Amino acid sequence: MTGSFRKTMMAAMLLLLTLPLPQAQAAAPRYERSVHNFSIPDIVLVNQDRKRVRLKSIIDTEKMVIVDFIYGTCTTICPVLSAGYANLQRKLGKDSEKVHLISITIDPENDTPEVMKEYLERYRSKPGWDFLTGSRQDINRVMNAFDSYFRDKMDHKPLTFIHSPEDGTWIRLYGLLSGKDFIKECEKVGVL
Amino acid sequence: MACSAAKTLSKNVKKWGFYNVSMSFSKSRIALVFFFATALCLSGRLVSSAWAGTDLPPEKIQELGQKMYRDGVLPSGESIKAFVSDDVPVDGTAFTCVSCHLHSGMGSIEGEVITPPTNGRILYEPREPFIKGYEHVPSFSNYAKYLPVRPAYTDQTLAELIQGGVDPTGRSVLHVMPRYDIYGKDMDILIAYLKTLSDHPSPGVSKEQIKFATVIVEGTDPQAVKSMLDPIQFGIDRKNALAIAAGNNDRVARMGYNMLGPDLMAKKFTLSHWILKGAPETWRAQLEDYYQNEPVFALLGGISAGDWAPVHHFCEDKHLPNLFPVVDYPVLSDTDWYTLYLSRGIRQEGEAAARYLMSIQSLLKDGAILQVYRDSRRGQALADGFRQIWNAAGNTAAIEVTLPPGEKLTKTQLQQLLNKHKPVAVIVWDDETALPALTEVATEKSHPNFFVTSATWLDQSIYSVPEPLRGFLYMTYPYRLPQEEARFKNLLNKVLQGKSIAQYDEKIFKKGYITNQMIGDALMEMRSEYYSDFLLDTIGMMEDTYLPLYERLTFGPGQRYASKGCFIVQLSEGDAPKLERRSEWIIK
Amino acid sequence: MDRFFMTALILLFILTLPACAQTVQDSAGVQEAAKAKPEVEYVYVSKGYRYDPVDATEDADAGLFLCGTRCNALSVDYLNITTPGGWRMLRVAKDHEVSIDLKKMGIKGNCICIADQYVVKVNDLYMSK
């Protein structure tokens, strides 16, 4: 009961806070932006093709890496985040090769490689977008590393993290970005 | 509870404080929002051309409207186009109405977002910060008071909402709600469909009571039946006792009112036993008779030592929820909706074995896998579970050998198979009679490093696996480990009420306990909206649950098998051995 | 006097009754103590792991994955302990290094699991039984 109440409260807040801004205030973003240094755990996850992926090695590359936390049967936030990924790939065109999109499941119980593959197909993903699963504890470690631990998948938040290959910092974006804002944030990193 | 809620509120307000500063509403801002929305409306883009409704017959509206609502497909067969987050174009097939508003249309709360109900009855009523008749029920008002007030929709304002995301107050709704390109007759069909959604309470619900039934296949072990029934009946009796007590005692009435609301508190529950006799082919007619004589809201539990498919399909056709029947061979489907199972049954152990061997594949070095299984329904289910997962991942198929009924696996037979195929891993799906052969092979100088069996089939013999085999024997165990399960005893004691668990089949008793718990929790969340789809939607949106028997039960919209895990265990060394985990609950 | 004596005798009898009962219980308990005394239960909550291959011929990624599997398997899900109520976990060691033997599986390198160790106790602070 208390859990539901908490969820209701938070939902209500978000509902109020994400009301659109009229033209006069359009400059104020609908999301929170901050810069962090995160220490990524040295763990191995599994992608949609059942390939084992050492997380550190796919993050520490010359590409810009973007990470979000979603799950296959999620109702509200994840479809918007994933539509944002798909839109980014489309808008970047050939430049999308410079960006590695990573979605990490927060429902490893249900998200098998088959479920994840079907999910990516639904969003017409292109190469360069990986959906990763793994042991629940390893995924908890990743969430903790990004200071984004959700005790339950139903409590998750709209978070996107952009890794700059230049200085290794992470930009944390909290909220649901428009397509324009998302590209603008990527451009700030300087790889595009 | 009120105190903790207040604390949570104050914590959240603090947490979100910066938004309140940067995005607080002023009068001028409200005026601007109003202007913005009015301008959009006047632009004409949003206004649909026809509001006369649709003259299609109701069945056609159901068919076409449901396709739009659930699949994101227009009557023309094209997918609906939409925009989300202002400018992100999306396919309606990825952003269906059902994905947020759910099957029942009663909405959801997930990931900090409230999705309000979208059924006609609620849309065409003004929204208040409370639910009429339930103003003082905390759980109801907690839900309602955080949704913005609005007048009742009309067909036109509803179309404007769907197309432009603007509600009748001129306020734009959350940006997770796509703005759909639906016009004209298509919009009429969708609106007509929404009007039929969750319109009348489901069968089995009246002002005074909610009727449930449980299906028992004749010939099932009486102890097993009692073990399934008693915890469910306990829940029914307790609920009815509360209804009576609330009528006699103000304090109890107040407590019941706060927890359940006046409606659910006063309702009595009934549980009928639907006994199915004879061959499974005849069950359908029996079920039809039972249902016709006494329509029920849901089937709770149920038990069969063999088939369940006829009951499953009956529930599917009648849109009748069935919560957690006690069956070893559930129907496996990615799309069926109305039966929730505790797990994928016996085959889940076979699937876990495949996943475990895949997780240690680097140690197997592409060597052969030998799968020996008893030629029985159980053996076949385990072998099939393994085969399907293993082969689907592109692995070379295992060498398979069946053991005919009554024929014991011998050391000679097993050794011959090892000599012939030189496997790196041997899976044996059989009972404890296979243990001597496995032990003798494991004492040989050269043998595979991995032997896999089912702990549930070996039953109590798992604790007498001899030392030479222990270090190499990996067992599938689809429950919480016994030493950790002991901590859940207190929960069961409340239902046992002084009786000994020994008079029951413990695992089945726990399954009944889970059903009792889940139906209670779901009804408390349902705000007295008794729709069968909403019952399943509500359970689908529940958080992970920790109850007796399974390490974890998890849900999600459309997920139909609550326990998805299985440990791989080994027996520890020493005279008082314990099961030790060698894998996590979920194996990747 | 007689009355006083009788009263004192009865009082003494009454007072000693519970004590005798307690002694009987205790003496029965002493014999069973070894058996009945609940074993102190230690559990781990793993925080990380590392794998050191023996030599360059070993597949370090595979070793790390297998080491992770075993280390994670060693860990309890604390919700399974705290959810039923009546139990609590007290941390007794932080960042404890547990060496996991993987030789029987055919892995030669060293697998070290880093975990906090907890003792699980009946929660006698807040909970009734």
Mind listing the pLDDT tens digit for each residue in A83-116? 999 999 999 999 999 999 999 999 999 999 999 9
Contact status, residue A111 vs residue A122, Cβ threshold 8 Å: no
The three state secondary structure string of B449-484 is CEEEEEHHHHHHHHHHCCHHHHCCEEEEECCCCHHH
Q: Max Cα separation, chain B?
A: 89
Query: What is the mean predicted confidence (pLDDT) over B510-538?
Result: 96
Whether the predicted pLDDT of B14 surpasses 70: no
Task: For C79, name the nearest residue in chain A, comparing CA atoms only.
Answer: A151
B11-25, B103-117, B355-369: least confidently modelled range: B11-25
Of B478, B488, B475, B495, give the one whose Cα is nearest residue B572: B475
Residue type, B60: K
Q: Which of B564, B565, B542, B536 is nearest to B555 (CA)?
A: B542
- Which residues of chain B make contact with A110, given a CB cutoff of 8 A? 554, 556, 559, 564
Write out pLDDT tens, residues B185-221. Answer: 999 999 999 999 999 889 999 999 999 999 999 999 9
Higher pLDDT, B426 or A154: B426
Tokens of A90: 């489309």
Average pLDDT over residues B133-151: 82
**CA B423, CA B415: separation in Å to the nearest integer?**
11
Cβ-defined contact of A137 to C48 (cutoff 8 Å): no
Nearest chain C CA: its distance from A9 CA (Å): 23
Contact assignment for C105 to B360 by CB distance below 8 Å: yes
Average pLDDT (A117-131) is 96
Q: Pick the residue from chain A with its C-alpha nearest to B31.
A: A22
Check CB contact under 8 Å for C72 and A137.
Answer: yes
Distance, CA of B215 to CA of B300 (rounded, Å) = 8
pLDDT tens, residue by residue, A15-70: 433 333 333 334 456 899 999 999 999 999 999 999 999 999 999 999 999 999 99
Which of B54-68, B169-183, B264-278 has the highest mean predicted lDDT (pLDDT)?
A: B264-278
Please give the helix or strand (H or E) that residue B235 lies within, else none. helix B222-248
Chain C residues with CB under 8 Å of A42 CB are: 50, 64
Query: Could you tell me which residue, B7 or C101, shows the higher pLDDT?
Result: C101
d(CA B198, CA B101) in angstroms, rounded, equals 12
Beta pairing partners, B118: none
State the nearest Cα–Cα gap between C39 and chain A, in angstroms.
27
> Which residues make beta-bridge pairs with B213?
B272, B299
**DSSP SS3 for A46:** strand
At residue B165, φ and ψ (nearest 5 deg) are: 75, 20
How much is the average pLDDT of B116-128? 94
pLDDT for the residue B47? 38
Task: For tokens 């994101």, name the residue.
Answer: B72
Question: How many Cβ pairs closer than 8 A exist between chain A and B?
Answer: 205
Q: How far is CA B126 from CA B121, B122, B412, in A?
A: 10, 8, 79
The band of B286, judged by pLDDT with boundaries at 50, 70 and 90, is very high
B180 vs B84: CA distance, rounded Å: 9
Radius of gyration of chain C (CA): 27
Per-residue pLDDT, B365: 87
Residue B41 clears pLDDT 70, i.e. is over it: no
Per-residue pLDDT at B36:
32
> Using the 8-state DSSP alphabet, how is residue B150 labeled?
B
C 77-116 residues with CB below 8 A of A?
A: 77
Are B584 and C129 an interchain contact pair (Cβ–Cβ within 8 Å)?
Answer: no
Distance from CA of C70 to the nearest CA of B (A): 6
Question: B25 pLDDT exceeds 70?
Answer: no
Pick B259 or B225 by higher pLDDT: B225
Q: Give A-chain residues touching C47 at CB under 8 angstroms.
A: 141
Judge whether A118 and A129 are in contact, CB under 8 Å.
no
What is the residue type of A54?
Answer: R
The more confidently predicted of residues C65 and B159 is B159
Chain A neighbors of C53, CB-CB under 8 A:
none
pLDDT band at B27 (very low <50, low <70, confident <90, very high): very low
Mean per-residue pLDDT, C86-103: 92
> Do C72 and A42 make contact, defined as CB atoms within 8 angstroms?
no
pLDDT at B53: 60
Chain C residues whose CB is inside 8 A of the A138 CB are 68, 72
Q: Give the dihedral sign, CA B503/B506/B508/B509.
A: positive
Question: Tokens representing B17?
Answer: 């404080």
Find which of B356, B358, B360, B447 to mutate to test the C interface (most C CBs within 10 Å of its CB).
Answer: B360
The two tokens of residue A68 are: 């979000």
Concatenated DSSP letters of chain C: -HHHHHHHHHHHHHHHHHHHHHHHHHHHHHHHHHHHSPPPEEEEEEEEEEEE-SSTTS-HHHHHHHHHHHHHHHB--THHHHTTSSEEEEEEEEEEEEEE--GGGT--SEEEEEEEEEEEEE-TTT---
